[in-house]
Amino acid sequence: MARKTRYLIGAMVILLSTGVAVGIVITLARAERRARLVKLTGGRSAEVLAALKGHAEFTTETKYERLARRFLPESLQGLIPEALSASCGQNSNSLTLYLRIAGASPGARFSIEAEDQNGFRYLRENHVCESATKSDRVYGLALTAYPRRQAKFLVHLLNLDTGAELGSFPVTNAPGHFPEWQPSRLPITVTNGPVKLTLQSLDIVRKNTYATISARWHLEAIDPAWENAVVAASSTFSDSTGNEAECLSPGEKAWKFRAVVKREHDTDFSPEEQIQFANLVPPSPGSYVPIGETKQCAGVSLRVLALAGAGTFGTTNETARTMIPQVDPGFGPHPALGDKGQPSENYQDHVVGTYTSGEVATWTSTTPFLLVEVRDLRANGAVRFDIRDENGRDLETTVSYSSNEEPGERLYKLAFDPREAKSVTLHGFVNRALEFEFLVDPKEVRMVKE
């Protein structure tokens, strides 16, 4: 009898200890949640769950719940809330805020703005993802530009559709050690090989929550081949902390602005920068001619894979080739390629699909087209293409390309109107753009409101 009593008392102690442990876990978890609650307009509230950098995975599971899962018996595991996980980072340099917003319905749309210690608001960002369980829903909102030097800054939550501000809350940040860029005074002149480029002035045109950059340039060609070159300016600024946007904090000493200069006229290219594939005879609709000819030009490799007539040209596992006579819009099964599967990706007239027979890629056109593989392109490099008939007349050509996983590799599709051409010649021009960087003083950038 005494032994039974001891067993009973022991069991009661274990149950009581377990109940106390569960109570402590629940109390601590609730206290932690109350500390993260912020008030929103309309009597609603939001719970700031975490601020994570890059692609770090978020979970709603607290350290106390993790501890409880580890030690509580299976019969009591149901008392612990179901954990929710998400990874909503925009890129490796972004900061993602995870919020639980009371009363928010599935698919609700939010945006956020970061504010620095001087009251400057960075541009509004709308990168939102949503993750849910049966009883919980969490929104991830990513910041790609924010005051990275500050240990704490303010974030404003807004309704994406109306722009109405719903509330604001502080965010804790681990500030990094960043360099201080030193700007030059406008106008700024930079020389790169055959070109002197002067940045004369900069404007930021702000309209509501958006901004565009307007720049004035003066280009001086040291080499006559670059006299007709054009300037393609960046659409964003960057700062030394890693931010990049159309408008950044004027609290930074300098913003970096980039531009490239490139040539667009065939006559501006030297013979060493040009290449030709001649006497190509357009096939009839629904057929193709394998070519496989490779040539080198200015350090770039160009290989003409095939010349196809109107229709859909396909490859299986990048080797076996076939042609579908009719023009296939790129959706649905491809029975002519020996499978009834569905494409996993759609790029309008270019489809890559995974099938039981392997990876199938197709290219579709209502006119003849060339497939050209380009390798060893450098940064900001490109290849311009012209297609001419046997009399030297330019044929209307539509150029599209897809980038391969290997850097510097592209696969071009060149669809052209053959008219009455008996044969065509493909002309390629290796266009290496010149890069320019300018460190400007934000105080010299004019702000224009529309």
- pLDDT per position in the chain (450 positions), as tens? 555 555 555 544 454 555 555 555 444 444 444 447 888 887 788 889 888 888 888 877 777 677 777 767 777 666 676 666 777 767 888 999 999 888 787 778 899 999 999 999 999 998 778 877 776 788 889 999 999 999 999 999 999 988 899 999 999 998 889 999 999 999 999 999 999 999 999 999 988 778 999 999 999 999 999 999 999 999 999 999 999 999 999 999 999 999 999 998 989 999 999 999 999 999 999 999 999 999 999 899 999 999 999 988 988 876 767 887 754 444 444 444 444 333 333 334 666 655 555 677 888 898 999 999 999 888 778 899 999 999 999 999 999 888 876 778 889 999 999 988 999 999 999 988 999 999 999 999 999 987
Tokens of 74: 């299976």
pLDDT at position 193 is 95
- The tokens 């009363």 sit on which residue? 103
pLDDT at position 407 is 77
Element of type H or E holding 7: helix 2-35
Nearest CA among 133, 131, 128, 136 for reference residue 159: 128
DSSP result, 91-153: STT-EEEEEEETTPPTT--EEEEEE-TTSPBPPPB-EEEEEE-SS-EEEEEEESS--TT-SEE
Contact between 251 and 241 under an 8 Å Cβ cutoff? The reply is no
Q: Is the pTM of this model over 0.85?
A: no
Residue 128, beta-bridge partner list? 141
For β-strands 446-449 and 369-375, DSSP reports them as unpaired
Phi and psi (nearest 5°) for 368? -60, 155
Element of type H or E holding 315: strand 311-316
Phi and psi (nearest 5°) for 28? -65, -40
Residue 85, beta-bridge partner list? 59
pLDDT at position 351 is 67
pLDDT at position 5 is 54
Exposure string over 147-170, b if 16+ CB within 10 A, otherwise e? bbbbeebbbbbbeeeeeeebbbbe
Nearest CA among 424, 425, 403 for reference residue 413: 403
Residues contacting residue 248 through CB under 8 Å, at least 6 positions apart: 122, 145, 237, 238, 239, 255, 442
Please report how many Cα atoms fall inside a 13 Å half-sphere around the Cα of residue 442, on the Cβ side.
Answer: 15
Contact between 311 and 283 under an 8 Å Cβ cutoff? The reply is no
> What domains appear along the chain, each with residue ranges and CATH number?
25-172 (no CATH), 188-266+435-449 (no CATH), 268-431 (2.60.40)
pLDDT at position 405 is 67
Residue 346, beta-bridge partner list? 351
Phi and psi (nearest 5°) for 140? -110, 125
Tell me the C-alpha distance between 345 and 334, whole Å: 14
Strand locations in 162-309 (E): 165-172, 188-192, 195-207, 210-221, 230-238, 244-245, 255-262, 274-280, 288-297, 300-308
Tell me the C-alpha distance between 192 and 18, whole Å: 73
Element of type H or E holding 438: strand 434-440
Whole-number CA gyration radius for the chain: 31
